[in-house]
A and B are shown apart, each in its own frame.
Chain A
Amino acid sequence: MSDVAIRLAGLTKRYGEKVALSAVEMVVPTGSFSALLGPNGAGKTTLIRCLTGMIRPDGGAGTVLGVPVGPGYPPTALKSRIGYVAQTQALPERMTAQELIGLCRGVQPRWNDAIVKRYLDLFALPMKQVVRQMSGGMKSQLALTLVMGGQPELLILDEPTMGLDPKNRHQYLQVLLADSIETGCTVLLSSHDLHQIERLADRATILVGGRVAVSGAIDDLKADEKRVRIAGAVEEAVVLGVEGVRRAVKEPGGWLLFVSGASEGLVERLRGLPGVTGVQVFSQSLEEIFLSYA
């Protein structure tokens, strides 16, 4: 098995004049729990649809589980290796859990009834109720059950825990984590719940306006991305001229700086600027990093 589950290079998608994805570069290591983040309309769902083969990119290259994304993607053999849980659960309204399980069993080559039973018991899902009568949370739980039954190598989840209460959400994430550890399955999770992501994921890619703003191991992002407050009368051009400073916001008596590639040296350089009387460095949570780009 390759050590990379997803590799995208310069992936581009246009809808008429509108550029939905612009030269997206992304690497998702095999077995990782990776997050795909970004504000609404950033292109997350478009990117996911390119990965699942629901739409075709206009340019760039990529591989998913070793298969090139391009004309004819995804080949039938790949479809069953990718599990996809969509944001809006498109389960057939008139079918029961039992009927849906029967349907999936028929089309999934690696279907495993033992896994399905474990999920059904854990979530206490009713077998004979039609989807229409299920709560949003139950639909989410059923969707995960159906996908995990097929033993995917790559699991793509788009806002999977919407509609779940905190207790059920925690349980859902625990079982997802336990099974991904057990099976070595790669997980790509898109979510707006950044606190949840920060716990679960080891890597994150933040999309803004169809472009990758930052991408990497979350611990590295947190070490790199800082906010720095400086006090003193300094010109904007001077602070922006310091290497690593990517944005400056005027504050009373100084500036709030957004810096990337933070190092000891950066603080010293800022302290050394003529007119600077104080420097304070803030670590950021993933949410704060997100907000600094979004």
Chain B
Amino acid sequence: MWYHIDPSSGTPIYRQLVEQVQQAVASGVLRAGDRLPSVRDLAVELAVNPNTVAKAYQELERAGVIETPRGKGSFIADRDHTVTEEERLRQFIEAADKLVADAYRLRIGSERAAALFAERLAEAERRRSGE
């Protein structure tokens, strides 16, 4: 499994891994039940410190993106049952606030922003539901 690591970016490498796994799930490349490589294998593959990979996996587990049943490896979790409703809402609102700031900065009006977002949602839905 390949991920793009950019050491020249100020973003910690474990964060880069977390974001890319999340993107892979959002875009349907990784699906519920898919197995992730072991910490050791991914570390060696990417030539990245194993603690960095372990930290990324811990973060993904905390965010409910992956599950690690004891001794069985790491798997992409079903999207809804591991994280509380409250936590999911909190994360979504945080992301939405960033988008709202961008809309203001880029002078995209509320109506246009909402329409664009709906469009993107439908597009992602189409991709996921299988082409």
Contacts and interface: CB of A to CB of B under 8 A. Distances in A.
B49 A222 contact: no
Interface in B34-83: 40, 43-52, 55
A181 B50 contact: yes
A166 B101 CA distance: 41
Interface string A246-284: 000000000000000000000000000000000000111
A219 B40 contact: no
What's the dominant secondary structure at chain A's contact region?
A: helix
Select the residue from A173, A174, A177, A288 with max chain B CB neighbours within 10 A.
Answer: A177
Interface stretch (A73-81, A110-118, A148-156, A193-201): A193-201
Interface size, B (range): 20 to 34
Contact of B10 (A173, A195, A283): A283
Contact of A177 (B5, B7, B44): B44
A198 B12 CA distance: 9
A288 B10 contact: yes
A287 B45 CA distance: 23
A63 interface: no
B46 A199 contact: yes
A181 B12 contact: no
B1 to A, nearest CB: 15
Nearest to B14: A219
Interface of B: 5, 7-14, 40, 43-52, 55
26 contacts: A33-B49, A174-B44, A174-B47, A177-B49, A178-B44, A181-B40, A195-B8, A196-B7, A198-B13, A199-B5, A199-B7, A199-B46, A200-B47, A200-B48, A200-B49, A201-B49, A202-B51, A202-B52, A219-B52, A223-B12, A283-B11, A284-B10, A285-B7, A285-B8, A285-B9, A288-B10
Interface of A: 33, 170, 173-174, 177-178, 181, 194-196, 198-202, 219, 222-223, 282-288
What are the nearest 8 A-B pairs in CB distance? A283-B10, A198-B7, A195-B7, A178-B44, A173-B47, A202-B51, A202-B49, A199-B48
